[in-house]
Chain A
């Protein structure tokens, strides 16, 4: 009757982290006349995660349309990736945060349990 139910929150004890810089990015002119751009850098110290999703949000954390090469980035363990974000001039003032969120894959045997999100702020 009684069945063993095992839930692993994390399967191994390695330290896992990710960070993103700069903390306070600035919009710059881009080669598109009606768009601004900024460059961000993400460093992956999470051995359990390789995929990160980029998002741009307003102050209420409502998503804002933006363009980047890949909205979900593959970042190998202990490596960093630089990426450019382009945003329409009309949305520049609304954009408050740019965030990267670790993506957890449900179909893996190994299921990371901590979803980490780092947000930089446009000031």
Chain B
């Protein structure tokens, strides 16, 4: 008799457990892949100030703003960064006279202390307009780019009124 009661109890409990609502469960995987890569970012926008009629400059003292380029690389010695300041306008009013371009590309800061050696180790190309940095350390590096355009070929003529654009080229080249 006891065995029969026990059997009924087991069958009853099993049936109850099947009827009870269950907590919904699902396993959702989040997969990721770590690959070596280089990313070129524009961290700070830049614009030209116009301190006098014949000069456009990104220098803050002349109401300009220096653009800041950020380069992220996840693998040491895998990439070199090449950054070039503008040497022509990509769009402008019609210009009948010469524009003289100067500029600099300089290491600003880095996520690893050893990156401060990048500037001294860098080389130039394209007549000095492009600076090449070997990214020997993984991490983030910031570069400042300054640009000055002077109109008139030394005789300081006034820029024609209008909107001007120039392009900074930032490259990440696998080594």
Contact = CB atoms under 8 A, between A and B. Distances in A.
Contacts of B163: 6-8
Q: How large is the interface on B (under 10, 10 to 19, 20 to 34, 35 or more residues)?
A: 35 or more
A8 B47 contact: yes
Contacts of A73: none
Interface residues of A, number: 38
A18 B39 contact: yes
Main secondary structure of the interface of B (DSSP, over half): strand
A79 to B, nearest CB: 15
Contact of A17 (B39, B91, B162, B174): B39
A118 interface: yes
Nearest to B159: A5
A14 to B, nearest CB: 8
A79 B1 CA distance: 71
Given A106-B91, A113-B166, A114-B167, A7 B40 contact: no
Interface of B: 35-48, 50, 53, 56, 58, 65, 67, 69-70, 72, 75, 78-79, 90-91, 158-175
Interface of A: 1-13, 15-24, 45-46, 97, 104, 106, 111, 113-121
